[in-house]
């Protein structure tokens, strides 16, 4: 396991005496993508911490080029240890769900109160002979990497349109979509490209170690990480977990359906 202090990621902390919640963003965004959720959580008396994954937002890229989930989760563990967070809830959106699962698998639940997977990639996104129910073949992931490297601006524009669309209809304003594109443009290109193949890691054994209260929230029209590939299977694999399905929800449900998303999250986190 890599040294958890190898990279100091940029984080923001609302402070206060409330129970801590760490929000882990999706690809290719940053901690700033949680701006529609933070007020609802702080309004419920929670202390909210966001951070930028290595190579994204204001965090430095990895000098050794590592963006596998053991390395990414070491950054999360390092943040939790530096802030000495205890009785903490982890909320992972999309790619961020991988850090949540791997944290439990490698660091245990001693510091945890609960976890939430929002439109998240576990248990195993890779489509292969060993995992025929996965949603993303390795060749397609590699094609995405090549497309991003060849035309970053065009790739991100199309990806983030799909990110916020359900059945071909954009579910956010053009201003909100443009804000996401601007956040994505801040990411280090190699960090963003390398992370794409990290999505294919298997989190099945990590999920098997989950015993804390668990929320799974997913849009039923997610075209990036379909609910039947990830959300439903995570719910099935974590005994006692709660599944909330967002009707007509695209991938970016924390923005497109923020009221319902925030209400479900607050209810779960304050129970």
128 lies in some domain: yes
| CA-wise closest residue to 43 among 18, 23, 64, 60 | 18
pLDDT higher than threshold 90 for residue 133: yes
Residue 2, in any domain of the structure: no
Q: What is the pLDDT of residue 1?
A: 40
Q: Is the pLDDT of residue 68 over 50?
A: yes
Asked if residue 3 belongs to a domain, the reply is no
- Does 175 reside within a domain? yes
Q: What is the pLDDT of residue 3?
A: 44
Does the pLDDT at position 76 exceed 50? yes
Q: Quick one: pLDDT at residue 4?
A: 46
Confirm whether 247 is domain-assigned.
yes
pLDDT at 2 over 70: no
Instruction: Give me the mean pLDDT over the 74-79 stretch.
Output: 97
Helix, coil or strand: residue 222: coil
Domain that holds residue 226: 11-269
30 sits in the region (left: phi over 0; alpha: psi -120 to 50; else beta) called beta
Is 1 inside a domain boundary? no
Q: How many domains does the chain have?
A: 1
Q: Is residue 4 part of a domain?
A: no
Given this model, what pLDDT does residue 167 score?
A: 95
In a domain, 74, yes or no: yes
Residue 161 maps to which CATH number?
3.40.50.1820
Q: In the prediction, which pLDDT does 103 show?
A: 98
pLDDT, tens digit (0-9, with 9 covering 90-100), for 150-177: 999 999 999 999 999 999 999 999 999 9
What is the mean predicted confidence (pLDDT) over 19-48? 98
Q: What is the mean pLDDT of residues 248-267?
A: 98
Active-site residues: which are they? 94, 222, 251
Query: Do 48 and 73 meet the contact criterion of CB atoms below 8 Å apart?
Result: no
The Cα 267–Cα 262 span in angstroms is 8
Token digits of residue 80: 């939790």
Strands 136-137 and 126-127: parallel
């Amino acid at each position: 396991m890599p040294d958890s202090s190898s990279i100091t990621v940029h984080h923001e902390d609302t402070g206060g005496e409330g129970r801590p919640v760490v929000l882990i963003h999706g690809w290719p965004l940053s901690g700033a993508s949680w701006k529609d959720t933070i007020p609802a959580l702080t309004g419920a008396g929670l202390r909210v911490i966001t951070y930028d994954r290595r190579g994204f937002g204001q965090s430095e890229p990895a000098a050794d080029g590592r963006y596998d989930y053991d390395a990414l989760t070491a950054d999360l563990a390092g943040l939790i240890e530096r802030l000495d967070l205890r009785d903490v809830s982890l909320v992972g959106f999309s790619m961020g769900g991988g850090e949540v699962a791997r944290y439990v698998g490698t660091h245990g639940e001693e510091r945890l109160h609960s976890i939430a997977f929002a439109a998240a990639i576990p248990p195993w996104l890779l489509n292969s002979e060993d995992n025929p129910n996965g949603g993303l073949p390795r060749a397609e992931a590699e094609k995405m990497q090549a497309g991003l490297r060849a035309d970053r601006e065009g790739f991100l524009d199309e990806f983030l349109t799909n990110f916020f669309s359900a059945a071909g209809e954009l579910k956010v304003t053009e201003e909100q979509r443009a804000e996401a594109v601007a956040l994505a443009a801040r990411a280090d290109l190699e960090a963003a490209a390398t992370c794409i193949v990290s999505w294919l890691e298997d989190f099945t054994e990590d999920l098997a170690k989950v015993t804390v209260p668990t929320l799974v929230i997913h849009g039923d029209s997610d075209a990036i990480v379909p609910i039947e590939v990830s959300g439903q299977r995570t719910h099935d694999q974590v005994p006692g977990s709660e599944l909330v399905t967002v009707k007509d929800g695209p991938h970016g449900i924390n923005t497109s359906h923020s009221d319902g998303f925030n209400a479900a999250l607050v209810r779960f986190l304050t129970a």
